[in-house]
Amino acid sequence: MKEKARQELRAQRVNGVPFLFTTSIDPKIVIKDFDYESLTVFSSKKVPLCIKSLNQQPGGDAFTCIFKNGDDLRQDILTLQIIYIMDKIWLANNLDLAMTPYKVLGTDCEQGFLEFVANCKTLAMIQYERSIFNTFSDDTIESFMEGHLRSKYPADWEARLRKSRATFIRSTAGYCVASYILGLGDRHPDNIMINIEEGNFLHIDFGHFLGNVKKKFGIKRERDPFVFSKEIAYFVNGGPLTRANKSVKLQRAVSEEELKAMSESILTEEGELPDDSEIIDDSLKSRTFKDFEEKCCQAYNILRKEGHQLINMFLIMLSAGMPELKRDDDIQFMVNRLDLGISEQEASNKFKKEIQRAMVTYSRRFDNFIHNIKAKFGK
C-alpha cells in the first residue's frame, strides 16, 4: 500500500510541482517537491498518509502533514479551536500549560489535512516497545524517557529529564482539564502522544466528545473522567507510588476486586469515590504531584470563570449538524462538567477527587491492553 501511494503521488506531478506551490494547511511554506521515499501510511482504520514536502527556500525546514480521507474532521477542528481558546485564556491568566493545539483543515467532505507534530511517540508505542505487557507497568513512561534521554544525551540527560518532567506535568494538567470539560472519547493509547524531546503530553484525533464514548456490547469501555492512568501518575510523581519512596499512596491498600468494582460501577457526572479512606494521603505526595494538582485546579477554575463563553461557542455550532452536536441537550454535558454553581474551593476539591478516580479506574488499562494487542498483532 505504501508503494502504491508513492506511485500515485508521483503520477500527480507529470510536469513537475508548479512554481510557488503551497499546501492549504500552511500556505506560508512554498513546496519544491515531495520526499517520496519518506511517505508513510499509518495503520489506523482510515489509513492516513504522512507526506513530507521539501521546502523551496534554501536551508528551509521540510514541511510534514497528514492527509486523511473518510473522517468528518469538523469535530476535530471545533475541539482543537476550543483547546486553542482554552490555552489563550490560561495564558492571559499567567498559566502556561505547554499545550499543543495542532492545525487541522478540512478540504472536502470527510477529508482534509492535519499538521504533523514532530518528535512524538504514541503512548501505545511506548507501552508495547519492550513487551505488550508493559501496558500494565507503572514505570513505562519513566523508563522510556530516562532510557531515551540517557542514550541520546549522556552528558546532561538528568537535567533534560527534569525539564521534560516539568513540561509533562504542565501539559498533562492542561489536557486533563480540557478533556474533562469537553468529555473527549475514544482515548485509547494511539490517540495520546508524548514529545520525547521536550516532554509535552498531548491528545490527538477528536472524533468523539461531549461524553460520547466507545461502547462494546452496550457496555461503556471508557469510565474514567479523563486519562490519568498510573504510568502517567508515576512520571508526574517522579517515582513509584509506595510509602518507601515517600510518594503517592492510598491510606489503605485497595484490592483488585475493589478497583474493578469502582471502574465497573455506573459513574454519574458528579461521581464520588466510594469511600473517603481511598483519597490520596496529602503527606505522601511528592512536590511535583502537588504541583500537578495545583495546576489542574487552577486551570479548571480559570475556565469556569469563562464557562458561558465556552458554552456559547458550542451553541453557535449547533446548526452545523455534527454527529455529536445536534441539540441543546448535547451541550448539557459541558454545563454539568463546568459546574458553575459551586465555589472555587468546592471545584478544586471536586477535581482532586476526579484525579484520584482516573488513577484507579481498572478498566482503562485493560482496554488499553486489548487495543495494543489489536494494534500490534491484528493488522
Mean pLDDT over the full length of the chain: 84
DSSP character for 325? B
What domains sit in the chain, N to C, each tagged with a CATH number? 2-69 (3.30.1010.10), 78-102+117-377 (1.10.1070.11)
Q: What phi-psi label fits residue 263: left (phi over 0), alpha (psi between -120 and 50 degrees) or beta?
A: alpha
pLDDT of residue 280: 57
pLDDT of residue 256: 45
pLDDT of residue 9: 63
* Identity of the highest mean pLDDT range in 17-31, 96-110, 171-185, 219-233: 171-185
For 20-49, write each residue's pLDDT tens digit: 788 888 888 898 888 888 888 887 777 889
Q: State yes or no: pLDDT of 306 exceeds 80.
A: yes
Q: State yes or no: pLDDT of 7 exceeds 80.
A: no
239: confidence class by pLDDT, cuts 50, 70, 90: confident
pLDDT of residue 273: 43
CA–CA distance from 307 to each of 54, 126, 183, 224, 280 (Å)?
A: 43, 35, 15, 22, 29
Cα 113 to Cα 102: distance, rounded to the nearest angstrom: 11
pLDDT of residue 339: 96
Helix axes 328-338, 307-316, angle to 10 degrees: 160
For 122-156, write each residue's pLDDT tens digit: 999 999 887 888 888 889 999 999 999 999 999 99
* Region 295-306 average pLDDT: 98
* Region 356-360 average pLDDT: 89
Q: Which amino acid is at 299?
A: A
Cα 73 to Cα 115: distance, rounded to the nearest angstrom: 13
Q: State yes or no: pLDDT of 379 exceeds 60.
A: no
pLDDT of residue 122: 94
